[in-house]
Amino acid sequence: MKSVLRLFFFCAVTCWSITANGQSFNFIHDGINREYIYYEPASLSVNAPLVFVAHGYSGSAQDIRNYSGMNAIADQNDFAVCYPQGTVDSSGDNFWNVGYSFHSGVTVDDIGFLESLASYLQITYQLSSANTFFTGMSNGGEMCYLLAFDGSNVFKAFAPVAGTVFPNGVIDNLFLSNLSIPFFITHGDNDNTTLYSGDQNDTFWGPYLSVDTLVDFWVNVNSLTDLVVDTFPNINNNNKITISHKYSSSLVDKEVWLYTHQSGHSWGDDGDMVIEQEIWDFFTKMSLNISAVITEPYPKRTLINVVDVLGRPSTNKKNTVLLYIYDDGSVEKRIIL
């Protein structure tokens, strides 16, 4: 009988609704009931990639699931998608705790929540820990930067859309990361919500950095020396031109991409590109060779019983070794902390 030992922090998860576009779940983290939507294509491969897609300020997991188009890309490319949801602020709006001025004093640990949720989904659905990625729109894009600066390496590449960084925010080690990470930044030249040039005097959101500052930072961290600039064909003849800047180096495999367009504060819907497809293409190019990481693939399986070491049925005993028994004969030892 094959036995696999895994020790991890186990958080309570319950399914509360099922739709054609995914299942909605609750996830308890840091004593707070958090929500997310999980979607996977039919017959998803073992060790498939996982992509997180985070909503903007006042948005929701359902909103960005509906407009991002990521489920369709997942169906075409065999990966799972998680749409996490932020908590509710004093104004009644869903948000990610990235350091807005009007969220001063807020202590919600969104970094811990997202990293814990990623680890849970990897284990529960047998997804690839080597190829787990994060993208998001606006406030969700801003979470990309905080997760990258955290340096935990849970997420392997990031693709913020219309986001920025607030230096007065919640990350103590901002810009001290020495971790090389692939980045794909998409932003509108005429974005009037999050200015491309940044705004050090913003009194509502708080001072924030320019896109060029962020691109330069990750280009330098990744030690990239080569640049290719290209222009997408203006398919709609609407003069909303999309330009790509792709930074790379023959010495490293972690690139930085920048796409600029003229569609304002949006998901990049100028008609010349499909941004979710571009994001997936970037993640694919930055993916690790799964065969080099997974040394013993195992087929999908079904949990049939949970018992303690004496064989007694048990599902939620804390600080106790529990045996998770599957229909393929394998057993996992877990400790719920």
Distance CA 83, CA 80 (A): 10
Distance CA 148, CA 219 (A): 14
Rounded to a whole number of angstroms, the distance between the first and last alpha carbons of the chain is: 26
Domain extents in the chain: 9-300, 305-337
Distance CA 44, CA 288 (A): 18
Distance CA 85, CA 52 (A): 11
Binned at pLDDT 50, 70 and 90, residue 210 comes out as very high
Domain with residues 9-300, CATH architecture: 3-Layer(aba) Sandwich (3.40)
> Looking at residue 129, what is its pLDDT?
95
> Looking at residue 197, what is its pLDDT?
97
Q: What is the pLDDT of residues 78-137, one digit of tens each?
A: 999 999 999 999 999 999 999 999 999 999 999 999 999 999 999 999 999 999 999 999
Task: Give percent of the chain with pLDDT exceeding 70.
Answer: 76
pTM of the prediction?
A: 0.81
Helix-strand-coil split of the chain, %, nearest 5: 20, 30, 45
pLDDT greater than 80 at residue 199: yes
CB 321 within 8 A of CB 331: no
Binned at pLDDT 50, 70 and 90, residue 273 comes out as confident
What average pLDDT does the segment 303-331 reach? 64
What average pLDDT does the segment 151-171 reach? 89
Binned at pLDDT 50, 70 and 90, residue 290 comes out as very low
CB 35 within 8 A of CB 12: no
CB 48 within 8 A of CB 54: no
Q: What is the pLDDT of residues 216-264, one digit of tens each?
A: 999 999 999 999 999 988 877 677 789 999 999 999 999 999 999 988 9
How do beta strands 243-249 and 321-326 pair?
unpaired
Binned at pLDDT 50, 70 and 90, residue 9 comes out as very low
